Amino acid sequence: MTKKVNITTTSGADVSTINQAVSQRIKLYRSQKKLSLDELSRLAGVSKGMLVDIEGCKANPSIALLCKIAAAMNVSVADIVNIASEPTVHLIDRNDIPVLWQGEKGGSAKLLAGTRGPDMLELWQWVMQPGEAFASSGHPADTCELLFVNRGQLTLQVDGRDYVINEGCSAVARTDRPHAYKNNTRDTIEFTMTVYEKSR
C-alpha cells in the first residue's frame, strides 16, 4: 500500500509515473554519488525508512521531502522528477508536468520546468482555493523566490510576517527561512513562482 505523504492529482503526470521517476532518479543519483541510505538519511534529515519507501515506490513524497533529498545530493527537484532542462532545448508536454501538491479543497502546485542541479532554477504554477495554505520550514541558504499573482490575492508569510500580493503584482522573497503561501480570501487564487537555489 502506498503511503500518502502528500496528495497529488491525476492531471498532468499521474501519481504512479511520478513515483517511478522519483524512485529511479533517487537511486541513480545516490549510486552515482556513492551514498548509502544511512548517509543520505543523515545529509537530508529524512528517515532511512522513508527513503526505503520512496525508492521502493511505496511512498508519495511531499515537496518538502523532495527539496531536502535533492539538496542533500546537490541536484534539483526537477532532476528527480525528470523534467530538468536538457542541452539547448527541452520541451515538456502538458501530460508530463507533475502535480506535486494538492490542497484539501482542490488547489494544486505544478512544477512546470526546472534546470539541472546544483544551481537550481524552477518554475511553478500554483492554484489555491479559499482557505488553503502551504507552509515550508525553509530552503537552503540564499534561496530566493519570485512570485507573480495571476488571479486573486495571495498572502505570503515569511518569518511570521504576512505580505499581501494583489492580482497583477509581484514579489521577491528570501525563502531560506520559514514561509507560507495562503489564500485568506473567498476566491480562487493563481500565482506563478520561480525558485532560485544556489549550490552549496
pLDDT tens, residue order, the chain (200 aa): 333 333 333 345 566 777 888 888 898 888 888 999 999 999 989 999 999 998 888 888 888 888 889 888 888 888 888 777 777 788 889 988 999 999 999 999 999 999 887 678 999 999 999 999 999 998 888 999 999 999 999 999 999 999 999 999 999 999 999 999 999 999 999 999 999 988 76
Cell numbers given for 141 = 541558504
Predicted pLDDT of residue 4: 34
Cell numbers given for 160 = 511570521
Non-local (6+) Cβ contacts of 173 within 8 A are: 144, 145, 147, 156, 158, 163, 179
Predicted pLDDT of residue 60: 82
d(Cα 59, Cα 69) in Å, to the nearest integer? 14
Please report the sign of the dihedral spanned by the C-alpha atoms of residue 41, residue 45, residue 47, residue 52: negative
Predicted pLDDT of residue 15: 66
d(Cα 19, Cα 84) in Å, to the nearest integer? 16
- Least Cα distance to 102 among 125, 81, 79, 82 occurs for 125
CA angle at 61 for the pair 58 and 63, rounded to the nearest 5°: 170
Predicted pLDDT of residue 10: 39
Predicted pLDDT of residue 170: 98
pTM over 0.85: no
d(Cα 78, Cα 93) in Å, to the nearest integer? 14
* Residue 123: its H or E element: strand 120-128
